[in-house]
Amino acid sequence: MEFIKKNGKGILLCFIISVICWLLGKQFPIIGGPVFAIIAGMIITLIMKDKTQFESGIKFTSKKILQYAVILLGFGLNLQVILQTGAQSLPIIVATISISLIIAYILCKVMHIPGKISTLVGVGSSICGGSAIAATAPVIDADDEEVAQAISVIFFFNVLAAVLFPAFGSWLGFDRTTGEAFGIFAGTAINDTSSVTAASSTWDSMYGLGSQTLDKAVTVKLTRTLAIIPITLVLAFIRTRKESGNGSEKVSLKQVFPFFILFFIGASVITTIATSIGVPASFFTPLKELSKFFIIMAMAAIGLNTNIVKLVKTGGKPIIMGLCCWIGITAVSLGMQHTLGIW
């Protein structure tokens, strides 16, 4: 009862916003529920001058429910399928993730962009957009405005990719009799699932390929999602070393270790074992949908804690970083596909 009394109003506010934004996301998938939610939260904050009674629940939603969303994301990962069909794209995935993180690191130093925003943009661009940002934010102790900044940058280039990449792929001369080449390109060069789905489905429609491109792109995208595991563990280790050595209050690895990632791995293992003994993959669909809804709830909470005026004023440099990461990932994906004889 004490938990409900303390957090209930804030959680309910986030829930109401999320239901509306989830429905909007279904109608406009190229934008997606999380983006609608974060924008709605920021607008409501401009109007609502006193959020005192909601603050505790909003904080719980932006931190804990965000972690629950990542855990449930694991139920969408069949490790056996990923190992069988995603192995082909693994070298490309490793290369694109590496180039994005290198670009983010260099621009962080050269352009004096805050380290946490740089990390979130680099990880979000290279792995899986909002999900990667959701997993990384608690590990590096990013605040809600930093998360909102990164999500905004990622969203902008997601929409561009979803709209432009099918025409770009056609201009480049990707094979139009099979969805393999463009599917791998979409799965490695576009970071958010909704935009990967939009671009690959468009390619299927353009050339009458059924769902060939979509199936390939989604499998590659899920393979990329597994990179959340090593990235968060490495970031936890780096943060421990950095904060223990700079004279600030000592932080142990146990304090910042992303234990929710262990549950994410456990969910993936459960899904893999269950499907291998005959449980249909559709059994886990409700949990995957709940994961998406929890991300929307968390984005609503983050929006409620974000000053949109400040966000706009400080947005220039992170957008340039996002652009550079996006161009780097696209170029490396195309170069690696050409080298490996896929395109």
pTM: 0.81
| CB contact burial 159-194 (16+ within 10 A = b; e otherwise) | bebbeebbebbeeeebeeeebbbbbbbbbbbbbbbb
Dist. CA 10–CA 215, nearest whole Å: 39
- Please report which residue ranges of the chain form alpha helices under DSSP H: 2-27, 33-47, 55-60, 66-73, 79-85, 90-111, 115-126, 130-140, 144-172, 180-189, 193-207, 212-225, 228-245, 253-256, 259-276, 285-304, 308-313, 316-339
Dist. CA 30–CA 25, nearest whole Å: 8
Dist. CA 272–CA 290, nearest whole Å: 19
Position 234: which residue type? V
Show pLDDT as tens, one digit a residue, over the chain (343 residues).
Answer: 788 888 999 999 999 999 999 999 888 877 788 889 988 998 998 888 788 899 999 999 988 998 898 899 889 888 887 777 677 788 999 999 999 999 999 999 999 999 999 999 999 998 878 788 988 998 898 988 898 889 888 888 887 888 899 999 999 989 888 888 999 999 999 987 778 888 998 899 889 888 889 888 888 888 888 889 899 989 988 888 777 666 555 666 666 677 888 898 999 999 999 999 999 988 998 998 899 899 899 989 988 988 777 777 777 899 999 999 999 999 999 999 989 888 7
Total count of residues recorded for the chain:
343
31 in helix, strand or coil? Answer: coil
Dist. CA 44–CA 52, nearest whole Å: 14
